[in-house]
Structure 1
Amino acid sequence: MKIELRRIEDSPNILAELTNGIDELIITKNEQPIYKLTKINQPTAKRRIRGSAKGLITMGKDFDEPLTEFAEYM
């Protein structure tokens, strides 16, 4: 899509209206292209799969036992 620069200067809100749903906008001055606006595609975050790390981390059998280092505080 092409638009003349003076049209944008007269109505700055027109950019928001024009860019809705297009991937590229070329701004011209005296019929010569001076700016090219392109859409930036944001990568979508991958959804995490629940339980995908199962079995990768293990706890020691004595995990719940009191620590000997803290015996004096108990």
Structure 2
Amino acid sequence: MRQELYNYIQSNQDLRRFIREQPHWYRKLTRDPKQIENMQIEMMNYYQKTIPHRVSGFSQSLQLVEMMIGMMGSAIQKD
């Protein structure tokens, strides 16, 4: 693997962890270093760090908060 690519991967904790969990990417990058962009996209999907994943997580958190507020409101009204 090229030294600059190796240094780039070592500087990013998520990429380093991903390449350890998915060793086929090490082979791909050794053969074709231009595949780093594809690996980053796959890593973001794997760790659910894309914008749609984050929006979904935020939406689920918001729904949970709304449900808790609703439950507390109904508990207060019963008293």
TM-score (normalised: structure 2): 0.21
- Structure number with greater Rg is 1
Higher strand share: 1
TM-score (normalised: structure 1): 0.22
